[in-house]
Amino acid sequence: MARTKRVYKRLWNTVRQIIRANYELIATQSIRGVKGSRGIRASYYIVGDLLEPYLQEGKITREDYDWYISKQGYASYRDDIWPKLEQQEGLKRPEAKALGIVYDQGTEYPISHLINVWDQARGFIFVEKAGDAELIQELSDFGWTIVAGQGYPTRLMRQLLKQDTRDVMAMHDWDRDGLGIYRALGFTTRRTWHLDIDLGNRVIDIGLNKEDIEALDLPTRPGPKKYGGAPRAEISALHVLTRRWGIENPVLAYAVASLLVRGYRLSPTEKPKEDMARAHLQWALTEGIRGVVTKAVKAIMAENKIEGNAVTGTLNFDKEIKMPGLQKALETAGKNILKEINWRDEDSYHDEALHLTDDRIVERLRNAP
């Protein structure tokens, strides 16, 4: 490590300068209006994009740049440069996210929630990294439940998805492992052939591909030696579009564009209004009298002092409380509640979701060969 620092001192000094000058862009990102960490891998790609002019101007060498985009270079960036910046200059290090999560209607759940996914969700989007899943979580409000794991989908994920019938979109890096993730979801593998957990043609590939990478001019990195060092591009590479085009959340924009160019709707599915109205009434009327019940209990306890202690207090009570005029009053209140329901159809959700992407990405993906 000491030799690496000495040989590439100019490179890492330049990287530090870039981080100091562009910290907000590199290390932070707003998700649903809330500012948080962009993630260490995403920040690495933005710094790499900002390094290119230094290479063109001769301020760093090609050897410097090639080292930065190598696996060893990323390790130095993550484990050496950022810890020192944090310790010595107080710049908070971007963090990786926890693995194994589900986003359903905007809320984060553990993987076990897959058995209780919103029945109006149109389908699932599997993302190989939890950090990328967080970036596209807003799609879970528009009918697409987000699922993330640790690279390849686990057996449990596939078993739970197998119990469902809806489509599963596979969003992954452009490399051999990314294609393997898509295949692991859809097809029988050597290790799981006996479990019957392949999802077949329910799995649709919306991951990065060569055509999209060329259309968006995304940076690639050398792949592992075991794959011959073939070029690869991670989903995190999309973050360069923040600097180039000013897109706040390019991963979300790409995911939405990928669905659009394949003809998918960006909305939950519709269900009978009568079913939703009944559920709303049940909830609203029950909640509406909660305050009255609370006041009644308080008054009763004030008038009836109960002394002493007990281990349990058993009450066998299954009588309906009847009160003259109560049902009529609730019916009147319910009719007014019905008038306040704001109905939205699929078109309304789809049109709203279009603002999550960028026309430049959509156009380039559509025109990609």
Q: How far apart are CA 323 and CA 345, in angstroms?
A: 39
> 167-171 and 203-205: which strand pairing?
parallel
Q: List Cβ<8 Å contacts ≥24 apart for 274-279.
A: 276/341, 277/338, 277/341
Q: How far apart are CA 157 and CA 111, in angstroms?
A: 7
Q: Check residue 245 and give its pLDDT.
A: 97
Q: How far apart are CA 23 and CA 47, in angstroms?
A: 10
Alpha helices by DSSP H, listed for 8-79, are: 9-21, 23-27, 40-56, 62-68, 71-76
Q: Check residue 206 and give its pLDDT.
A: 96
* CB neighbours of residue 166 within 10 Å: 16
- Whole-Å CA distances, 35 to 28, 162, 248, 354: 7, 36, 11, 22
User: Residue 315: exposed, middle, or buried by beta-carbon count in 10 A (0-12, 13-18, 19+)?
Assistant: exposed
Q: Check residue 5 and give its pLDDT.
A: 43
pLDDT by residue, tens only, the chain of 369 residues: 444 444 689 999 999 999 999 998 888 876 666 566 678 888 999 999 999 999 999 999 999 999 999 988 898 898 889 888 988 898 888 875 555 799 999 999 988 899 899 999 999 999 988 889 999 999 999 999 999 977 788 877 888 899 999 999 999 999 998 899 899 898 877 666 667 888 999 999 999 999 999 999 999 998 888 778 889 999 999 999 999 999 999 999 999 999 999 999 999 999 999 999 999 999 999 999 999 999 999 999 999 989 999 999 999 888 888 889 989 999 999 999 999 999 999 999 999 999 999 999 999 999 988
User: Residue 338: exposed, middle, or buried by beta-carbon count in 10 A (0-12, 13-18, 19+)?
Assistant: exposed
Q: Check residue 37 and give its pLDDT.
A: 67
Q: Check residue 334 and give its pLDDT.
A: 94
Q: How far apart are CA 201 and CA 224, in angstroms?
A: 30
Sole residue written with tokens 């009944």: 278
Q: First and final CA of the chain: distance in angstroms?
A: 44
Topology (CATH level 3) of domain 101-269+357-367: Dna Topoisomerase Vi A Subunit; Chain: A, domain 2 (3.40.1360)
Q: Give the DSSP letter string of 312-360.
A: -------PPP--TTHHHHHHHHHHHHHHT-----HHHHHHHHGGGS-HH
Q: Check residue 93 and give its pLDDT.
A: 83
From the list 123, 237, 229, the residue with the least C-alpha distance to 173 is 237
Residue 229, sorted as left (phi over 0), alpha (psi -120 to 50) or beta, turns out to be left
Q: How far apart are CA 355 and CA 367, in angstroms?
A: 20
**Which residues lie closer than 8 Å to 146 by C-beta, 6 or more apart?**
102, 103, 104, 124, 125, 127, 133, 136, 137, 139, 140
User: Residue 337: exposed, middle, or buried by beta-carbon count in 10 A (0-12, 13-18, 19+)?
Assistant: middle
From the list 12, 28, 25, 20, the residue with the least C-alpha distance to 94 is 28
Angle between helices 9-21 and 82-89 (to 10 degrees): 60
In the DSSP assignment, the letter for residue 78 is I
Q: How far apart are CA 303 and CA 218, in angstroms?
A: 74
Indicate the domain borders of the chain: 2-89, 101-269+357-367, 271-290+325-344
